[in-house]
Structure 1
Amino acid sequence: MKRSVKLSRFASPPFILVIGYLLIIALGTLLLMLPVANHSGHAPHWIDSLFTSVSAACVTGLVVVDVDSTYTMFGETVILVLMQLGGLGFMTLATLFALLLGRRLSLKDRLLLKEAINADSMEGIVRIIRKVLIFSFTIEAIAAVVLALRWMREMPVGQAIYYGIFHSVSLFNNGGFDLFGTSFQQYAGDFVFNMIASVLVISGGLGFLVLSDLFDFRRTRRLSLHSKMVLSVSGVLIAIGALVIFIFEFTNARTLGALNWEGKVYGAVFQSVSTRSSGTSTVDISGLRQASQFFIMLLMIIGASPGSTGGGIKTTTFLLMVGALIAVMRGQKEIVFFRHRVPKDIMMRALTIIVLALFIFSIVVILLLMTEDAPFLSLAFEAASAIGTVGLSVGVTPGLSDAGKLIICVTMFIGRIGPLTIAYAIRPRSTKTLYRRPEGHIVIG
């Protein structure tokens, strides 16, 4: 009996998700170490291959080596596949193959899918996944064509098509990888690129449940409470982020100051969108003023939305805490959004996620301060970028020590899987309490 209890814990959906991502990372590391994956024919140091694999599978985009000059097309294709697996989730893509083969999903498969996309129930889970896959591959294909047509003006047709596919997958999955070496700084004033890239990043960061709702909106003419909250808070964060970056960097010659008015607007908006978890940029992140870097850190920790291709504490978690703050200040006992009361167990879960994330972030910064010789803000920025699986960097990442690289690898993994999911994966089996203890009164504030 005890053995079956132990086995059931290790067969739980959170545990399987953790093991699944670890296996994908391990396979990616081995493939990137093959001579055929590297231009020199000699694999980089194992820890650099591991770092790249973790960064791609966890759709972060932090790099310790230049992707285009280090990896061959085979190596870049491995990175592309890792980003697609990490963004959509290996269970989502496994469902695609199961559907193509006509196989019915078991109850265990459906439980895994529910955990993977943060759904409330298993009801209609396969239908949701089917719609998400159709939407994802369609928008990636359209964006790849548009980007390829744009780049055909400045590079050979074959290279333009390849770049279009790679960057479409990278942007939609919030992967953060690019083949230009300086991200997309040369396209700061390019309307076509900024529009397509922003649509891809926002679409990937909204979450599978929201994409499914939007997919059905023409038929149902309604959105769920979750979708309303995600769309509203995402819009507000992007708008506020763009305004703050525009004001802070308007006269900074190293970033927006060197651009015309149109370029300043595009740069501010795209950089705000990118903090959702994209990790790409059209300005030099290391050239940002410290106030801008700190503000972007906060946006990166918030991250994308639940069940999306991005990380962070998630937009709805942030909105719930804001709602709780407002409710307490107004003396209200209930937290209400769009005429719906938020259950207390969800509020406790949101509070747990925030506390865990901030605790992990603090520990990571302390460890980096012990192992690296770099300014505090720079190391804190890298830690926020890793835990939010964003990928923006002020240039510290390539110079990290081996210990620092391992710390960031673990942080990216926690950021992608989610601290609460990892906690559920390793927690001992809970037992039901058959009694309630007396209520105590504690003085706070």
Structure 2
Amino acid sequence: MRYLTFNPSQLLVVVFFIFIVIGSILLKLPVSTTDSITWIDALFTSTSAMTVTGLAVVDTGTDFTIFGQVVILALIQAGGIGIMSFAVMIYMALGKKVGFKRRMEIKQALNQSSLDGVLELVKGLFIYSFVIEFIAMMVLAIRWVPEYGWIEGLYYSLFHSISAFNNAGFSIWSDSLTGYVGDPVVNLMITFLFITGGIGFTVLIDAWHKRSFRKLTLHSKLMITGTLIINVVAMFLFFILEFNNPNTLGALSSLKDQLWASYFQAVTPRTAGFNTLDIGSLNDSTVTMMLLLMFIGAGSASTGGGIKLTSFLILVLSIIPLLQQKSQINIGKRSIRAAVIFRALSISILSVLLILAAIFIMTISENALFIEIVFEVVSAFGTVGLSMGITADLSPIGKLVIILVMFFGKLGPLNLAFSLAKPKQDKIRYPVSDVLTG
């Protein structure tokens, strides 16, 4: 009997699919819900949790029991850290040698460019994840235990710590964190978690070992600098665009609350999914800015989605040598290989095509405004979880489309393309020819 063999990309897709199916079955059990939910809603919730998106067709806090919420948390943790990472840790715990094939699988799962240091990355990933989540839970407990009591306060702290660090966006409360729009502890802790989780484990480990910005790798420097610039610019623009909106910042009584709200909404589109203001009440200009942020997403080897910040930066920086009529990109006395640029371009094009296809189908199947559909699709692709309020009213076709987009967005369109395509070596080289462009 021949056993099926998968390449790393195919294995990643299969394992994610299996866990989503198992999660759907568990969430459909009577013990998981306060009232019966449909299979499509169970599948949607399981996919949203496993892909750490946060879009919800049913209310997490009221429609699921503690057991159901724990299932969601387990899916979030598995999806955020990565199934392959768990598998490798089990191998290592049992004292088994992690061979070349397993290293290739974890390399693919964590979107690494080489096999060097993948095992150290997995070890660091687990240590950093659980330590950061535990510390964050203790800090949030200081805020929520006095308000809700020991049991509920600690549970709410644990739930939101795991959800935030893994960029999932699931919340116990139906209005997310709007009740804490001006709370410094909640704002700082939640944003610290999803920014840390979204910047990428390779950057965290690199920063921990180097302890100096000058000694960091080019990838780490791009991620840290790019994240800081984008977050500051987004906060400034959000404040300017929403200052006179009576349904968002205009409804807040103090400048302090307005600044906290601007900061939170500026950084949350980077795949986090929490909100402290009503997203459906934002101005169209603000929504457009958030669409771009959601499309860009977080960092490679992080808990977030999107095309990744480094891909976006590489594409933007590639314009400069083109205008200067140079043949290569130079960043910080380093040259970027053409293969890296080609990969970033391929990811972006495949992502745009996927988003356009999903939008086209949903404009036919859904009774919603075009901007609401676009926002929902881009949010699903970036595994963000923000919504303008149409998620619960999606048709079965719309739910299936969003499920597929979340799945593709988490695993990456290029990963899925690799899982379907058969690798071929170029044995024949043809003469070079030019094609007119522009």
Give the TM-score normalised by the residue count of structure 1.
0.96
Q: Note the 1:248-267 alignment, pairs <5 A.
A: 248-259=241-252, 260-267=254-261
1:398-430 residue CA offsets vs partner (Å, 9 max, x unmatched) = 100000000000000000000000000011232
Match of 2:338 in 1: 344
**How far has the Cα of 1:150 moved from its partner?**
0.6
Q: Which amino acid aligns with 1:84?
A: Q
The unaligned stretches of length 5 or more in structure 1 are none
1:327 is aligned to 2:321: yes
| Residue from 28, 31, 43 that aligns with 2:23 | 28
Q: Deviations over 1:315-356 (max 9, x none)?
A: 000001101112212222211111111100111111100100
Superposition pairs of residues 35-434 of structure 1, within 5 angstroms? 35-40=30-35, 43-218=36-211, 222-259=215-252, 260-430=254-424, 432-434=425-427
By how many angstroms is 1:226 displaced? 0.8
Q: Is contact 2:207-2:213 (8 Å) kept?
A: no
Aligned partners of 1:245 and 1:268 also within 8 Å:
yes
Structure 2 alignment gaps of length 5 or more: none
Any conservation in 2 of the 1:306–1:314 contact (CA below 8 Å)? Answer: yes
Counterpart position of 2:13: 18
For normalisation by structure 2, the TM-score amounts to 0.97
> How far does residue 441 in structure 1 lie from its aligned partner after superposition?
1.7
Aligned mates of 2:118, 2:169 — CA distance in 1: 29
How far 1:220 sits from its partner (Å)? Answer: 9.9
Distance in 1, matches of 2:327 and 2:364, equals: 44
- In 2, the alpha carbon distance for the partners of 1:368 and 1:326 equals 37
Q: Residue type matched to 1:60 in 2?
A: T
Deviation at 1:268, TM superposition (A): 1.1
Amino acid of the residue matched to residue 25 of structure 1? I
1:249 touches 1:257 (CA, 8 Å); kept in 2? yes
Report the CA distance between 1:433 and its aligned residue.
Answer: 2.2
CA contact (8 A) 2:34 2:65 kept: yes
- Aligned residue for 1:153, secondary structure, equals helix
Instruction: State the alpha-carbon separation in 1 of the partners of residues 77 and 377 from structure 2.
Output: 23
Cα distance 1:74–1:219, how it changes in 2: closer, same or farther (>3 A)?
A: same
Amino acid at match of 1:363: A
Instruction: Determine helix, strand or coil for the equivalent of 2:146.
Output: coil
Residues 171-191 of structure 1 show CA distances to partners (whole Å, capped at 9, x for unaligned) of 000011000110001111011
Letter in 2 for 1:335: I
**2: CA distance, partners of 1:265 / 1:188:** 10
1:383 offset after TM fit, Å?
0.5
Is the deviation greater in 357-366 or in 248-257? 248-257
**Bigger mean CA deviation after superposition, 30-39 or 119-128:** 119-128
8 Å Cα contact 1:131-1:215 kept in structure 2: no
The structural deviation recorded for 1:100 is 2.8
Root-mean-square deviation over aligned CA pairs: 1.6
Amino acid at match of 2:90: F
Is the 1:119–1:209 Cα contact (8 Å) retained in structure 2? no
Deviations 1:169-215 (A, max 9, x none): 00000011000110001111011111111110111001121121022
AA partner of residue 321 (structure 2): A
Matched AA of 1:214? A
1-structure distance, mates of 2:67, 2:215: 45
